[in-house]
Each structure stands twice: as C-alpha cells, then as structure tokens.
Structure 1
Amino acid sequence: MAYKDDQLSEEKVFKDPVHRYVHVRDRVIWDLIATPEFQRLRRIKQLGTTHLTFHGAEHSRFNHSLGVYEIVRRILNNFKDREHWNNEERLLCLCAALLHDLGHGPFSHSFEKVFKLDHEYFTQAIIVGDTKVNEILEKVSPGFARKVADVIGKTYEDKLVVSLISSQIDADRMDYLQRDAYFTGVSYGHFDMERILRVMRPIEDQVVIKSTGMHAVEDYIMSRYQMYWQVYFHPVTRSAEVILSKILHRAKHLYQDVGYTFKLEPIHFISFFEEDVSLEDYLKLDESVVQYYFQLWQEEEDEILSDLCERFMNRRLFKYVEFNPNLQINDLLELTQLFMKAGIEPEYYLVVDSSSDLPYDFYRPGEEEERLPIHLQMPNGSLKELSRHSDIVESISGKKRTDHKLYFPLDKLKALTDNGLKQQIMDILYGQGESRKNVN
C-alpha cells in the first residue's frame, strides 16, 4: 500500500477538553505528530503572556494544532461525495491543518516584532527544509511538502482548500476561539460549532454556509469580536507584552550597540541579535529556553535588563492609563522629559501601546484581498454576502476599533524622593483630581 493511503491498524485518539477526542487513522498524520518539529509546539504557549492575566491559559500550540486538524477532519467527512469537493485533496488539507502553526516562536508576536521575523515564513521553511516533517511529507509524493507549504502560504491553486485553513470562517479560528475561552475561563468564545460544520458547503473556490445556519455564524462572529477585546487585548496581558518586548530590545541593544558582556553568553539569542537566524537556530529556541535566560538576567549588572526581567518573572507589571497619542502628544513629550529628569529611562519605562497594531481580526469584508466575505447559500442556490442578510453582522462590519494605553512603573514613581517632580508626573498621568490618590 502506498504511504499516502496507509492507515493505522486501529484508530488513535487524543483526549481533548474542547472536541472530546482528536481522531487519527492516517499513518502520515501519526508520523507528523511524532516529529521533533511538531513536538516543539508543546513548549510554545498558544496565548503568550495571557496566563499572567488568566491563570488557566497555559495551553500550547500543540493543543491548538491538533484541534484545527480535528475540525478539518470533521469538515471533510461532511464534504465527502459532495459536488465541487475533490477527495484527492483530503490528506493535503489534513496535513496543512496540523502544521499551519509549525513556525511559531516563543511568545510569538512580541518576539517577531523585536527580531523582525515572520512565523509563516518559518512554517514554510520547516515544511520544505531539511527536517523530519519534510522527510515524511515527501514520502507521500515528490513535491507534496511544497503543496502543504503553499496551502499555508495561501498560494495554492485550489482556493477551496486554502479557505478551510484561512478565511473569515475557518478551522483555525473555530478552534482557537473555543480553546482560548475554555482555558481562560471566559464565556465569550463559545458558539455552536457543530451546527456550523453541518451547514458548511463546498463550492468552486470557497466554503459557503447554508442560509439556515446564519444565526450560528452570527454567534461565531460576535464571539470572535468579544474575545479580542476581553481576552486578547486585555490591558494586563498587554502590560506583560510591553515588558517582554522591552527585555528583548534591551538585550539586543546591549549586545549590538554597547558590546556588553553577559555573565552567561546568550548563545541561543546571538543569531537573533545579529539578525541572521538559521532554521536550526530558530528551532532551538522555545519558551522554556527564553525564560531560562530571563531568570539569569535578573542577576545582570545592567539595571534596566535586570529590573525588567525581575518584573516579568515575578509579575510586577506596569500600570496603565487611557491615552490618546493623537490628542495628548504634548503630555507624552512632557512626561518623557520628566522621566529623564527623574532618572527613569522613558524608552523602557514609558510606553504607548495600541491594540489596533495587532491583528484585529473581527469581520471586515474586503479589507484584505485573500479574505473573501462569508457567503450564505440561499434556498434557490444563489449566494448572499452575510452582512447584507444579518443586521447583527452588518452593525460591526468594516468598523475598526482602536485602543491606546500608556504604560509605566507606578512603583518607581512612588519611590521618587523629589515630591514636586513626583506630583508633576502624577498630575499628567492621572489628572490633578486623581493623582493624589495614586501617590500614596
């Protein structure tokens, strides 16, 4: 029997808190899960620093990747023998679903911004590179690994296949919303996925939804909207992200610009500091390694690096106030001068953070070319764009919400001995009426 058709002698299952069971029968999938590159995802948290806000959010990208695979497996079971669906693409879809997050690094998005990396690039590099994953995929057929990489990169010729992994309503989003809601303990991310899977239909270049399933999709859209603002952009989580980013910036600055001698040479970071990262270097770095360095850097002689690492490791986060940089630019300039006068480095301790700089992923038809809007299939077979049929979705379609916060170490401000300077800073941050409450 050809490797691509090889089935396990009995079905393997992973017990899963979200989907109850993840079912594996294909030898290819079972072998991919066992690779070092996929097992590495156990050491990358799905939600980065969110566990510092919602203590249950310790789940990994390994959990999530299995969940996306399972959703796609169920979708394809429903698609079997339907018009427009080519069952020859089944294994390709399953592999792409399983491997779609393979290239995520530690504390993914913060890490990427500091070191100018792209996890999708590394996902494809792992799939087509000199790896165990590539070895298995190429056993399916020559060039199969490239096809999987193209699906994940959204360049594969069959857009219907791509849409299962990346679209306005795809397996990736359906898993992370439910999984993140489960592990954070919030109620926002729950929706009737089973209903959505039952009403999904393949057409030539995308998946559409039977009109009878519109209300389940409305629930999904609103769940997604709420999760971003209640969980993903939570200001305490963002505070931890700010400190994490500043640690990495400081370490990079010390290495690149100061010629600083670390007590222990940061060998896992050197290629990142030098912006010449090989695939081998990338795969060696996970969150346990990063936190090992943060633990050590608490003892470094550089006061800023030491302080920031101690804050991150012990959850002594920055405080924040609402802040509009467009209207309060003069306040920011004045605060920068006052922080410098107080001996508090504003580059690391006075940070404007804008949530809209992150992937703000609620329903926005037409904003990105590859994201087709969700279409409903009407009883007569015609297609109707969702927001034109749903008042709920229409009310949030295309509306970009922006949120700005100003982060700072309140403890350092309270410790200032110059009471006049302290009061000046507090008056700007909190307003004169509230500042005295926060000084003490």
Structure 2
Amino acid sequence: MTPTLLEEEKVFKDPVHRYIHVRYKTIWDLIDTPEFQRLRRIRQLGTTMFTFHGAEHSRFNHSLGVYEIMRRIVTKLEVLTEEERLLCLCSALLHDVGHGPFSHTFEKVFKTDHEEWTRRIIEGETEIRRVLSEVSADFPKKVSEVIGKTYPNKMIVSLISSQIDADRMDYLLRDAYYTGVNYGNFDIERILRLMRPAEEQIAIKYSGMHAVEDYIVSRYQMYWQVYFHPVTRSAEVILKKLFQRAKLLYDCNYHFRIFPEPLVPFFKDGPAKLRQYLDLDEATVIYYIREWKREEDTILSDLAERFMNRRLFKYIQYQPLDYLMWTDLQGLFEDAGLDPAYYLEFDSPSDLPYDFYRSGEEEEERLPILLLMPDGSLEELSRKSDIVQSISGKRRFDHKLYFPEDRITDEIRKRLGVN
C-alpha cells in the first residue's frame, strides 16, 4: 500500500516548531474533519488560564505539534514501512481527539476516559473513521490499537506513549511557551537527532544523555511550577464542585432556569452516545456556568459566580493524617452555614518524574529510557545519570486544603491558622 500524497506540501505556521509540514492526503483530510476541528474549542491546559493568562492554547494546536514531532522522528527511522509511517502520524495527530471540556476535571466527575473516547471516535461512525478507512479497511483499528497501547509493534506504540515520546515533548515546549515560563524548554533538536531504533522502543545515543537529563528536569519543573500550581488547582476544585452540584440537582429533579440539555447524558449513570459527546465543548460548558450564576440554588450560583469572576478558594498546607482536624473543620463549616461537601476540599496532586519497571510490581509497566552505548549495548538512563537517579522512583505529593476565605468565621480562621 502506497499512501496518497498531496500535489504540493501544505504548511502551517506554528509558534513552537515554526512550521508544521503535511504531505500525506490522509493527514490533510483528518485535520479537516469536524471531530478534529472540535479540538479548537478544548483548551490544552483547562483552568491554567486563571494562573497564566497566556495559557489559552487548544488541544488542536498541541495535536498538530505532536504530529510534527512524530513526522520528524519517522523520517529518520528506516526500519518503518511507508504504511507504518502513516500509522505513526495518524496516531500522533489523533491521540487527544477524545478529550472533553476541561479535560481531566470533567473526566474525574463524570467518570469518562478520554483515551476510550478517542478510540470510539476513531472506530465509530465518524468522518475520522471514513478518512482512515480510505487507507485500508483495518487502518482505523490499527490507529486505535496504537493509541490504546495494544498494537503488536511496541516501538510504534512507544513513539506516542512512553517516558520520552512525541506527546510529552510537544506539551512541555508548548505549555512553557504559552504560559511564559522557561521550565519546559529543552534541546529537542539534539534528542531527535540522536534517536535510534532499539529492540521494542527508541533509544538515545549516549552522547545525548545530558539533553535527556534536561528533558526530565524540565518535565519535573513544569509539573510543580505550572501543572500543579495551587491557583490552577483552586479553579479546578470549584469547577469540580460545580459539576457535582449540577449533577446532584438534576438527580433531585431541580428546575433549572435553562435546562442544561447537553450535560444531561453525563449526569445520568449510563454512557453517553458518541454524538452527544462530540457536541460538547468548553464554549457550551461555560455558557451554562454563566447561566448558573442566576440560579435559585445558592450553592450552584455562588460557585458559578466564583468560577466566572475568578473569586477562587484560598489554600493552606495540610497534612492528610490530621483526621481530628478534618472532622473538626467539617463541623465548624456546617455551623457556619457552609456545606463542607462544596466549600472544603483536600487536594493532593503527585508526580513521578521518572521511573522504570521493576519485576514484581503491580503497577502498569513503565518503559525505561534507554541509552545506546558506544559499544552498541543498551543501558537504562538512571544507571548512567546521577541526576536522573536522584529523582527516579520518587513520587512527590503536594497536600493542600481549599476553602472560601471570604465566608469563613473567626473560629474557622483560628483553627486553620489563617490571619
């Protein structure tokens, strides 16, 4: 099978990679599908815009960026056939097509899985499936398997899903650019130039080890300085409480001023239909949050007003083992007329910057980053890098308590140690 080429190469201007090159007709047609265009209306970083005002970029331009990095990788891999190259490119482009509005917050509340939705979109009755089927009848299934990590060729899977893949490399660089920080920058040019096929994954030549160290440290810094920023987490807490309150009210047959029809399939226990999921984007969700400011339910209206006008919860450090303090606080909040289910939240994000599979562990296998040594042997990264060894396998937590400072009593302030 020889993939169809465009008559002339198409080029997108991009602030991170400068140019994104499209040569295959399949890629060009996928970009033009309604399901992919929907990603323009899904932010890459959700509520991070409340902390870094430039973080308005979308899943659409991230997906194009992942595709461009993958294009540069597969161009150098002579072990791949022409169809396998196209498979890699399509998987990179479509890897996030199943994300919903405010991605991870939405997933947690309504128990959805963006990867599962991605596979449903690729294999369901969609324009994306139609385009992929023009390559071959089983091509949609192959793309779905790569994204689901079940495709037989593990090296192809590792290019889109591993500890140093096209997805991670783009979101670090892109998120750093749009948030205005320097933490996520690393020498991608050197990493790409020194990638080599090895066994069932990609290895990096030993001479590029310091560039990989920089990449690992950049990822570590981005998580703690950007992704887990407490102001961003505060906005996520309020959004989560908003979704939970709206769902509870629906379950109790509450009469909404404007019935949130697009959200109803997710309020129910059964799975939403594919078309219902694709009709939902952040513009739709924000419309209803804006309308919820006028609801008679005081909790829903208060949370909606806080989200829309950035009146976020305050946060303090909190040790989760302090159970007596937690139960005491719940009682004090109830006495103050504040429902702790919506106005008191313990949040504990964590990150594992780098690790590798250890025999006997129950967790999903983590492919190590391999270094290709001068003698042709392969070595796991942390065995050669003191920097990576120092953080390998070490999960870090950030425990915080969130609450509305403007509504707490003096007794609560005293209990929390808030001035």
Question: Which blocks of at least 5 consecutive residues in structure 1 are unaligned?
Answer: 414-421
- For residues 366 and 40 of structure 2, the distance between their equivalents in structure 1, rounded to whole angstroms, comes to 30
The answer on 1:365 being equivalent to 2:356 is yes
**Residue in structure 2 matching 1:200, options 195, 198, 205:** 195
**Residue in structure 2 matching 1:70, options 64, 68, 71:** 68
Specify the alignment match of 2:210 in structure 1. Answer: 215
The answer on 1:259 being equivalent to 2:253 is yes
**Residue in structure 1 matching 2:219, options 204, 224, 227:** 224
Question: 1:410: Cα distance to partner?
Answer: 0.4
**Preserved contact between residue 18 and residue 182 of structure 1 (Cα < 8 Å):** yes
**Preserved contact between residue 356 and residue 365 of structure 2 (Cα < 8 Å):** no
- For residues 318 and 26 of structure 1, the distance between their equivalents in structure 2, rounded to whole angstroms, comes to 48
- For residues 73 and 330 of structure 2, the distance between their equivalents in structure 1, rounded to whole angstroms, comes to 54
Specify the alignment match of 2:344 in structure 1. Answer: 350
Specify the alignment match of 1:272 in structure 2. Answer: 266
**Preserved contact between residue 228 and residue 361 of structure 1 (Cα < 8 Å):** no
Question: 1:261: Cα distance to partner?
Answer: 0.7
**Preserved contact between residue 66 and residue 166 of structure 2 (Cα < 8 Å):** yes
**Preserved contact between residue 169 and residue 374 of structure 1 (Cα < 8 Å):** yes
- For residues 371 and 32 of structure 1, the distance between their equivalents in structure 2, rounded to whole angstroms, comes to 31
- Which runs of structure 2 are paired with 1:30-429 in the superposition (5 Å)? 30-79=28-77, 81=78, 84-256=79-251, 258-276=252-270, 277-326=272-321, 328-356=322-350, 360-366=351-357, 368-413=363-408, 422-429=409-416
Question: 1:10: Cα distance to partner?
Answer: 1.1
**Residue in structure 2 matching 1:27, options 25, 28, 51:** 25
User: Per the alignment, in what secondary structure is the counterpart of residue 209 of structure 1?
Assistant: strand
**Preserved contact between residue 348 and residue 399 of structure 2 (Cα < 8 Å):** yes
User: Per the alignment, in what secondary structure is the counterpart of residue 262 of structure 1?
Assistant: coil
**Preserved contact between residue 3 and residue 83 of structure 2 (Cα < 8 Å):** no
**Preserved contact between residue 211 and residue 376 of structure 1 (Cα < 8 Å):** yes
- For residues 292 and 7 of structure 2, the distance between their equivalents in structure 1, rounded to whole angstroms, comes to 50
- For residues 374 and 380 of structure 1, the distance between their equivalents in structure 2, rounded to whole angstroms, comes to 18
TM superposition score normalised by structure 2: 0.97
Cα RMSD over matched residues?
1.1
Question: 1:369: Cα distance to partner?
Answer: 3.7
- For residues 202 and 337 of structure 1, the distance between their equivalents in structure 2, rounded to whole angstroms, comes to 59
Q: Deviations over 1:131-187 (max 9, x none)?
A: 000000011001100000000000000001001000110000000000000000011
- For residues 10 and 82 of structure 2, the distance between their equivalents in structure 1, rounded to whole angstroms, comes to 22
**Preserved contact between residue 112 and residue 119 of structure 1 (Cα < 8 Å):** yes
- For residues 293 and 210 of structure 1, the distance between their equivalents in structure 2, rounded to whole angstroms, comes to 52
User: Per the alignment, in what secondary structure is the counterpart of residue 117 of structure 1?
Assistant: coil
**Preserved contact between residue 98 and residue 114 of structure 2 (Cα < 8 Å):** yes
**Preserved contact between residue 377 and residue 383 of structure 1 (Cα < 8 Å):** yes
Q: Deviations over 1:216-260 (max 9, x none)?
A: 00000000001000000000000000000000000000011x210
Aligned residues: 414
Same amino acid, percent of matched pairs = 64
User: Per the alignment, in what secondary structure is the counterpart of residue 169 of structure 1?
Assistant: coil
Question: 1:203: Cα distance to partner?
Answer: 2.0
- For residues 280 and 82 of structure 2, the distance between their equivalents in structure 1, rounded to whole angstroms, comes to 38
User: Per the alignment, in what secondary structure is the counterpart of residue 6 of structure 2?
Assistant: strand
Question: Which blocks of at least 5 consecutive residues in structure 2 are unaligned?
Answer: none
Specify the alignment match of 1:12 in structure 2. Answer: 10
Q: Deviations over 1:50-94 (max 9, x none)?
A: 000000000000010000000000011121x3xx44444100000
- For residues 177 and 223 of structure 2, the distance between their equivalents in structure 1, rounded to whole angstroms, comes to 15
User: Per the alignment, in what secondary structure is the counterpart of residue 268 of structure 1?
Assistant: helix
TM superposition score normalised by structure 1: 0.93
- For residues 203 and 212 of structure 1, the distance between their equivalents in structure 2, rounded to whole angstroms, comes to 16
User: Per the alignment, in what secondary structure is the counterpart of residue 397 of structure 2?
Assistant: coil
- For residues 342 and 423 of structure 1, the distance between their equivalents in structure 2, rounded to whole angstroms, comes to 10
User: Per the alignment, in what secondary structure is the counterpart of residue 216 of structure 2?
Assistant: helix
- For residues 353 and 224 of structure 1, the distance between their equivalents in structure 2, rounded to whole angstroms, comes to 21
Question: 1:361: Cα distance to partner?
Answer: 4.9
Question: 1:120: Cα distance to partner?
Answer: 0.4
